Structure 1
Amino acid sequence: MKRNLGPENPLYPSLTTIVGTVVDGRPNFLAVAHVGNMNHGQPQYLSFGINKKHHSGRGIHEHRQFSVCIPGEDLVVETDYVGLVSGRNTDKSQLFELFEGVLPYAPLIKRCPVCMECRLDRVIDFETHEVFVGEIVATHAEEGVLRADGKIDIAEVRPLLFDMSSVSYWSLGAPVAKCWSVGKGMKRRLRGEQ
């Protein structure tokens, strides 16, 4: 029997990212786990939600650019740190070695195996939070995390997963099945195509 938990969001674990922007002339970073894909067409968009009090929001509004980097498990301490301290009173600009991409106000972290540069498309306003929707302008990936076909190998990235119920970072497990494949037998069977 299931218990009614009320209006609780159980959509965890979620991918942990580091969002970068420029505030007051210097790079600033924030750990963000509420990130979502918006579409798979072109152009591609992603979104993330943060509290309006976060210092990074100011830089995103001002420059309309930001980065979303995917840290590996080896960056768990630094990732947690940038989520614990505010750029309002802590200079996080020297924490990471950066590299340049296309957008001048989207700082990219060299140690993150995957980073995306985004241009702000729109902001969805809620009472306490804002959801930033960005168009992905460029994606940068380390050669070591790419498969032979040029796609990102998530097992090589070793991303951090965030779980709200345990307030813990988790690692990625083994693959379970191939998407858009494992259910084909059931589809044929239910259509009587056996």
Structure 2
Amino acid sequence: MKKNLGNILALYPAPVTIVGAMVDGKPNWTLVAHTGTMCHSHVMLSMVKSHLTNQGIRENKIVSVNLVDASWLREADYMGCVSGHQVDKSHAFSYSIGENGAPLVDQAKVSIECQVDGTYVLENFENFFCRIEAVYADESILNEQGKISYDLFKPVLFEFPTYQYYLTGEKVGDCRKMGNPISPAEK
């Protein structure tokens, strides 16, 4: 029997990202785990309105989403512990500027450069609808077909409400190949 837990958010774990935007001519970074796929061409970033990074996103309409793995989780976590309003976070990471002007974290094995198409404010969150302009991936995590291999790249996941981090796990099946009807013998 299932127990009703109330109207809590239960779509966890979620990928841990560092979101970057230019603010007053220098990069600012913040830790974000409220990200999601909207369609094949767009992602959504749901960020508390008071973040300094939001200011840069609103002004420039360009943002980076940098996927975190265990090799730089400590540095990424720190970006969620301090405010860009009090601490200059522009030197927190070595970075490059993407083809569209977004700051990209060099340590990130995957960085997604986006153009903001729209914003929806809900409660205390700004939800940025972002069109993917470019995905930059370290060659060490690409398979023979030149695609990101999640057997090689293991992004960190965030779980709420316990505030714990997890690594992605092992493969358990192949999408669209497991959907055959279950035979009576398998039940």
Normalising by structure 1, we get a TM-score of 0.91
CA contact (8 A) 1:155 1:172 kept: no
Q: Any unmatched runs of 5+ in structure 1?
A: none
State how many pairs are aligned. Answer: 184
**In structure 1, what is the equivalent of residue 87 of structure 2?**
90
Q: Whole-Å Cα distance in 2 between the matches of residues 57 and 132 of structure 1?
A: 9
Residue 126 of structure 2 is matched in structure 1 by: 130
1:22/1:28 contact within 8 Å kept: yes
How many angstroms apart in 2 are the aligned matches of 1:96 and 1:135?
Answer: 24
In structure 2, the residue matched to 1:113 is 109
Residue-by-residue CA offset, 1:4-45 (whole Å, 9 max, x unaligned):
1110111110011110001122100011111101112xxx11
**1:35–1:49: 8 Å Cα contact kept in structure 2?**
yes
Within 1, Cα distance between the matches of 2:67 and 2:28?
Answer: 16
Q: 1:44-55 alignment to 2 at 5 Å?
A: 44-55=41-52
Cα deviation, residue 126, structure 1: 1.1
Which residue is 1:65 aligned to? 62
Sequence identity, in percent?
37
Among 160, 173, 178, the alignment partner of 1:177 is 173
- Runs of 4+ aligned structure 1 residues displaced above 2 Å come to none
Pick from 65, 73, 78: which aligns with 1:76? 73
How many angstroms does 1:89 deviate by?
1.1
**Secondary structure in 2 aligned to 1:174?**
coil
Q: State the Cα deviation string for residues 52-79 of structure 1 (Å, max 9, x = none).
A: 1111111100001100011211111011
Unmatched runs of 5 consecutive residues or more in structure 2 = none
Where do residues 13-32 of structure 1 align in structure 2 (5 Å cutoff)?
13-32=13-32
Match in the other structure for 1:33 = 33
Q: RMSD of the TM alignment (CA)? A: 1.3
Query: How far apart in 2 are the matches of 1:128 and 1:60?
Result: 16
| CA–CA distance in structure 2, aligned partners of residues 165 and 64 of structure 1 | 31
Q: 2:163 aligns with which of 162, 167, 189?
A: 167
Tell me the alpha carbon deviations over residues 132-169 of structure 1, each in whole angstroms, 9 at most, x when there is no partner: 01111110000000000111011322211000132100
1:154 & 1:167 partners in 2: Cα distance?
A: 23
| 8 A Cα contact 1:15 1:33, kept in partner | yes
TM-score (norm 2): 0.94
**What code does the residue aligned with 1:85 have?**
V
1:184 partner SS: coil
Q: How far apart are 1:107 and its partner, in Å?
A: 0.3
Distance 1:2 1:71 in 2: 34
SS class of match (2:29): strand
Distance 1:93 1:133 in 2: 24
